[in-house]
Amino acid sequence: MDSRSPGRMPISALVGGIGAFDEVLAAAQHGEEWAVATLWRALQPPLLRYLRAMCGDACEDVASDVWLESAGRLHRFRGDEAAFRGWLFTRARRRALDHHRRAAREPLAVADLPEPRDPARGGEVERAQALDAAIALLRSLPVDQREVVLLRDLAGLDVEQVAAMTGKRPGTVRVLHHRGLKRLAEGARLADVTPATSPTLSGHDDLLAA
Amino acid sequence: MTTFSRHSTGDATGPVDPFSGLSDAERVAVGGVLDALAQPRLAGELLGQEEAVTAITARICPRRTRPRPRLTRPSIAVPALLRGRTLAALGATACVLAGTGGAAMAGMLPGPAQSVAHRVLHDVGVTVPAGSGTTPAPGGTDARSGHDRAADAPRNGGGHASHGTGRSSGGHGAPAGNPVAPVDGQGPHPPAREGHGQGRGSTATNGQGATHRHVPTHPPHGGSGGHGATHTQSTP
């Protein structure tokens, strides 16, 4: 387990000893702000990165919609932390699909391309550039491969969760994951990906067919 | 830069290893991409936390920010079964009333019922045919025998044979339903249905078999020896 990964870090570790995930979830379901803030701080970064890779510049708006939709149904959720991640990313995926349906009817604008972050803090500049480069490289993948790589390696979902979420068989998910990583490695090795690199959006139509 | 092993999935023993077939250089490269993707959160990713948490909390518990007024009057709960039966009863009643009204308008009700309908609906301004029990049929179609009628009619005084004497043609009574036309005993006669006067009875009472409902006593030609004319007069 990578404790640095926001997608795989246990929420209870982010809480700082206040309580386990169940307690945080129960408090959030009762509308306690500290619990809601804990969940948001733990899951907003991977959610935002996933949506950046899937939706581009509209990621923040889509993320807000995902949170608000999830908040309206939070009282119905039952499950552990892994299930909660899958539950949240399922909504994120649906919202991403909706975004792509709308974007497919609109001409591609420059604003849809990922923009390099310009963090003011010194230590985060390189990290932010590396993140932008990684997302740009991910966006060059076909959508189904990109989606599986993101859900597996960013959101931390297992094969069965991704298969249930995407409506594919577990074997298909494994194959897509393997092909996505191989293609990602080839792209990273052959090209010196910089944040200024414009990823192609040709794979968006594939998502609609998925 | 970390190695790819940190990103190996827990189910790498499955049918497809995600990192199989990759050279060492590719593994390092993809490991770097995944490291960058899964790095700790950036400060810019947590911008707007307060607003987001407030909005989410408000969505989770809308009652805290916008209490819903409670209804003061409970709704009247009528069982569905009762509603169904009531509707069925009302529908059946409406059908019966409509059918009865239609039959009354057409005069198809039985006599007493038609009379009642006529009387009741007449009061409210609706004209329906009267029943046979109240209004006599025009023309006195009620053909009863002369003998029976004789019992109804006031007997004429003796010696004043009002009907049928002399040469009265042996029982040719006036046809039923001819209200006022005096029938000459010698005229063209429809076939008499009843009554066979002998023409001699001076005290014969209505022996002609004519149809009478109210027969006024008027000696047709005075005294006996008349021509046996039969007067039939119906009064409505």
> pLDDT per residue over B56-73, tens digit each?
999 888 765 555 555 555
Q: So what's the pLDDT on residue A116?
A: 43
Pick the more confident residue, A41 or B118: A41
Q: What is the pTM of this model?
A: 0.51
User: pLDDT category, A148, cuts 50, 70, 90?
Assistant: very high
Q: So what's the pLDDT on residue A107?
A: 54
Q: So what's the pLDDT on residue B228?
A: 44
- Burial (Cβ within 10 Å: 0-12, 13-18, ≥19) of residue A119: middle
The full 3-state SS of chain A, as one line of letters, equals: CCCCCCCCCCHHHHHCCCCCHHHHHHHHHCCCHHHHHHHHHHHHHHHHHHHHHHHHHHHHHHHHHHHHHHHHCHHHCCCCHHHHHHHHHHHHHHHHHHHHHHHHCCCCCHHHCCCCCCCCCCHHHHHHHHHHHHHHHHCCCCHHHHHHHHHHHHCCCCHHHHHHHHCCCHHHHHHHHHHHHHHHHHHHHHCCCCCCCCCCCCCHHHHHHC
Which of A154-168, B52-66, B84-98, B184-198 holds the top average pLDDT? A154-168
Pick the more confident residue, B71 or A194: B71
Instruction: Please say whether the beta carbons of B35 and A47 come within 8 A.
Output: no
Query: What percentage of chain A reaches a pLDDT higher than 90?
Result: 46
Q: What is the mean pLDDT of chain A?
A: 78
Task: Give whole-number Cα distances, B23 to A150, A174, B30, in Å.
Answer: 22, 19, 10
Question: CB distance from B18 to chain A under 8 Å?
Answer: yes
Q: So what's the pLDDT on residue A105?
A: 67
Q: Which of A5, A94, A93 is nearest to A42 (CA)?
A: A5
Query: What percentage of chain B reaches a pLDDT higher than 70?
Result: 39
User: pLDDT category, A57, cuts 50, 70, 90?
Assistant: confident
Please give the tally of structural domains in chain A: 1
Q: So what's the pLDDT on residue B39?
A: 84
Q: How far apart are CA B59 and CA A28, in angstroms?
A: 11
User: Which one of B37, B47, B59 would you mutate to disrupt binding with A, by most A Cβ within 10 Å of its Cβ?
Assistant: B37
Can you say how many angstroms the Cα of residue B47 is from the centroid of all Cα atoms in its chain? 74
- Mean pLDDT for A128-157 is 91
Q: How far apart are CA A48 and CA A54, in angstroms?
A: 10
Q: DSSP state, B168? A: -
Q: How many CB pairs (< 8 A) connect A and B?
A: 162
Reported in sequence order, the residue ranges of chain B that DSSP labels E, i.e. its strands, are none
Residue A1 covered by a domain: no
Q: Please report the ipTM that was assigned to this predicted complex.
A: 0.73
Q: How far apart are CA A35 and CA A29, in angstroms?
A: 9
Pick the more confident residue, A49 or A7: A49
Contacts of B43 in chain A (CB under 8 A): 119, 121, 124
Residue B182 — φ and ψ, nearest 5°?
-70, 140
For residue A166, the enclosing domain spans 6-209
Secondary structure class of B152 (helix, strand, coil) = helix
Q: How far apart are CA B59 and CA B216, in angstroms?
A: 103
- Look at residue B161 and tell me whether its pLDDT is greater than 50: no
Query: What percentage of chain A reaches a pLDDT higher than 70?
Result: 72
Query: What percentage of chain B reaches a pLDDT higher than 90?
Result: 5
- Look at residue B158 and tell me whether its pLDDT is greater than 60: no
Contact check, Cβ <8 Å, B49/A68: no
Residue A46 covered by a domain: yes
Q: So what's the pLDDT on residue A93?
A: 93
- Mean pLDDT for A105-109 is 55
- Look at residue B87 and tell me whether its pLDDT is greater than 90: no
Residue A39 covered by a domain: yes
Contact check, Cβ <8 Å, B6/A64: no
Residue B230 — φ and ψ, nearest 5°?
-110, 125
